[in-house]
Amino acid sequence: MLDNTFKAIVVEESSKGLFKQSIKSRNISDLPEGDILVKVKYSSLNYKDGLSFYGNKGVSTNYPHTPGIDAVGTVESSNTPNIKIGAKVIVTGYDLGMNTAGGFGGYIRVPQKWISILPEGLDSLDSMIIGTAGLTAGLCVNSIELLNHIAGSKAIVTGATGGVGCIAVKLLSKLGAEVTAITGKNSSEGFLRSIGASKVMIRDHFISTVKKPMGKAIWDIAIDVAGGNLLSGLIASMKYDGVVTCCGLVDTPKFDTTVFPFILRGVSLIGIDSAEESIHNKTKIWENFASKWKLNNLKELYKIVDMDGMMYEIDKISNGEQVGRVVLKHA
């Protein structure tokens, strides 16, 4: 029998525009209309969740609200024949955890078009260790593979201790790249080498050594989550036909460059948006993680927390202190 109540992290806005975060009991009737009701087993923490949690109106405008842009779980009810009750499914992005109640609650209700079936070879926990962050890294790698060879290449990843970065380092290393990881955390070299980085560079040192708009050609491929001077430096130091993927703005959305790296070295700059990517392409990436991209020893990347622990971890990711991935396990 379906239990109509569940626990959720809830963000509320006061009349004075202040935001309060707490763990509350919710009812399934509180959820929005949708095709599929999912009992959430795990969710994971992403940078956007921190923005929603603290009331960033560029992410979430409707309050009270439950963040969590990722969820994996079991279908409890379905009004479409394509997705059966009992199916294990993944939901990431679109409006989940933004203005639609997200994975930091025990249930979600969403449209069918947001749903991917959890592929064989990928269990529920691993899917959320990967999560939207890893999906984004996977979309970067997929775009790079269309234009360049990864095996034997010299790759560089910014924000390497974060969610996108650590999955990118691990995946590129698995695929045969020599990976340099850029981080602002002096204490993270051991962690980054343990997940596949051949070399670790401190962010400020990298920025200070790059001559812009064109410096020494060093890298074949790059994955950037930061924007700003890091992205400018990457573009300036790519080899001929190098590929840079841009998927974040944790430093700043602005960056300086000229046309020279593009017209004299044939550098490609590709933007990645995992939130609104087609469900067809998302599902292909999940299938890759279940097969040819399957990552071993994911336990070295994550910690698992309850809702109280997630409240603490949200504060850390918002302050740029997070290392690796954080997974929320529902009771």
Residues 111 and 156 in one domain: no
In this structure, what DSSP letter does residue 252 have?
A: B
pLDDT given at position 250 = 75
Judge if 225 and 311 occupy the same domain.
Answer: no
Check whether residue 101 and residue 211 sit in a common domain.
no
Q: Please give the Cα distance from 214 to 15 (Å, whole number).
A: 51
One domain, residues 89 and 29 = yes
Q: Is residue 223 part of a domain?
A: yes
Number of structural domains in the chain: 2
Contacts with 202 (C-beta within 8 Å, 6 or more apart), sequence order: 182, 183, 184, 186
Domain that holds residue 33: 5-118+297-329
The pLDDT profile of the chain, 331 residues, written as one tens digit per residue, is: 567 999 999 999 987 788 999 999 999 999 999 999 999 999 999 999 999 999 898 899 989 999 999 999 999 999 999 999 999 999 999 999 999 999 999 999 999 999 999 999 999 999 999 999 999 999 999 999 999 999 999 999 999 999 999 999 999 999 999 999 999 988 899 999 999 999 999 999 999 988 778 899 999 999 999 999 999 999 999 999 999 999 988 778 889 899 999 999 999 999 999 999 999 999 999 999 999 999 998 988 999 999 999 999 999 988 888 888 999 999 8
> Of 256, 271, 286, at which residue does a domain stop?
271
317 located within any domain: yes
Let me know whether 160 and 110 are in one domain: no
Q: Is residue 280 part of a domain?
A: no
**Structural domain contains residue 276:** no
Q: What is the CATH number of the domain that holds 49?
A: 3.90.180.10
| 106 and 184 co-located in one domain | no
Examine residue 67 and say whether the peptide bond preceding it is cis (omega within 30 degrees of 0): no
Same domain, 94 and 178: no
- Both 265 and 148 in one domain: the answer is yes
User: Is there a single domain that holds both residue 187 and residue 259?
Assistant: yes
User: Do 265 and 312 belong together in one domain?
Assistant: no
Asked if the structure places residue 106 within a domain, the reply is: yes
CATH code for the domain of 211: 3.40.50.720
Same domain, 65 and 149: no
Q: Report CA Rg, the chain.
A: 20
> Is the same domain home to 317 and 233?
no
Indicate whether 124 belongs to any domain: no
Distances (CA, A) of 257 to 184, 214, 230, 254: 22, 9, 11, 10
Q: Tell me, yes or no, whether 292 lies in a domain.
A: no
pLDDT of residue 321: 83
